[in-house]
Amino acid sequence: MIFLRLALMICVLTMSGQALAQEADTPSGYPVPRFVSLKVSVAYGREGPSQDHQIIWRYVREGLPLRVTAEAPGWRRVEDPGGEVTWMHHSLLSGRRTVFIPEETELRIRPDNDANIEAIAEAGAILDLERCADGWCRLEAQGHHGWARADAVWGLMPSDLGLSDAATDSLAALSAPSPHDTADH
């Protein structure tokens, strides 16, 4: 009986993931825009969606959050925290959600300005995004968990904050652009 329940749960979860992936009319089936992260420690951003296009950026930050702004079969047009736009092969990208810290940011034990500080994230840090609520996001890096104000991080969609996509015209309303220190030519 337990085996049957487990098999049924796996089947339902698999079907849910397939349904989510097929909601959007894109080559991947996922909505655009959305955030992904760099899966590898070194990746090349190109001018267009093929190996024939010139390399314009060399990224050296595994986990770097990237905003997918368009898709072509096998390729994603991405924007990095510095505002640079390149095309990357989909195999270089992960669905793991991370955020970029543009300026030194306090991580608090609770989502409250008066809560004790758990850690301080340095400018340029990349942290895993756990969840957001009430204008705060719970983040994790190197075993440290804490809450940061959502406007202090780059890499959030309006839906992460419980807003509709129509509630904001640009992600700049959620987080300011930072100086480009995430990629080298």
pLDDT above 70 covers a percentage of the chain that reads: 76
What single letter denotes the amino acid at residue 29? Answer: G
* Widest Cα–Cα separation across the chain: 58
Identify the three-state secondary structure at position 135. coil
Q: Which of 38, 67, 96 is the last residue of a domain?
A: 96
Supply 107's token pair: 């991580």
| In-domain check, residue 177 | no
For residue 107, the Cα-to-chain-centroid distance in whole angstroms is 19
For the chain, the average pLDDT equals: 84
Question: Between residues 16 and 98, which one has the greater pLDDT?
Answer: 98
Q: Are residues 111 and 90 in the same domain?
A: no
| In-domain check, residue 184 | no
Q: Are residues 57 and 85 in the same domain?
A: yes
Q: Are residues 114 and 83 in the same domain?
A: no
Asked which of 59-73, 83-97, 165-179 is least confident by mean pLDDT, the reply is 165-179
Q: Give CA separation, 71 vs 86, 158, 183, in Å.
A: 11, 20, 21
Q: Are residues 109 and 158 in the same domain?
A: yes
Cα torsion for 150, 128, 158, 34, to the nearest 10°?
A: 150
| In-domain check, residue 174 | no
Distance CA 15, CA 27 (A): 19
Question: Between residues 8 and 32, which one has the greater pLDDT?
Answer: 32
Q: Are residues 43 and 67 in the same domain?
A: yes
| In-domain check, residue 185 | no
Query: Could you report the per-residue pLDDT of 110-147, keeping only the tens digit for each?
Result: 999 999 999 999 999 999 999 999 999 999 999 999 99
Q: Give CA separation, 164 vs 36, 64, 70, 147, 172, in Å.
A: 19, 25, 20, 22, 15
Q: Are residues 80 and 123 in the same domain?
A: no
Q: Are residues 76 and 89 in the same domain?
A: yes
| In-domain check, residue 21 | no
| In-domain check, residue 106 | yes
Q: Which residues are within 8 A (CB) of 170 and not within 5 positions of it... i.e. 6 or more apart? A: none
Q: What is the pLDDT of residue 135?
A: 96
| In-domain check, residue 134 | yes
Answer yes or no: is pLDDT of 9 > 70.
no
Supply 114's token pair: 């008066």
Q: How many domains does the chain have?
A: 2
Q: What is the pLDDT of residue 23?
A: 78
Show the domain range for 104.
Answer: 99-166
CATH of the domain at 36: 2.30.30.40
- Its sign, for the CA torsion 20, 37, 151, 144, is positive
| In-domain check, residue 105 | yes
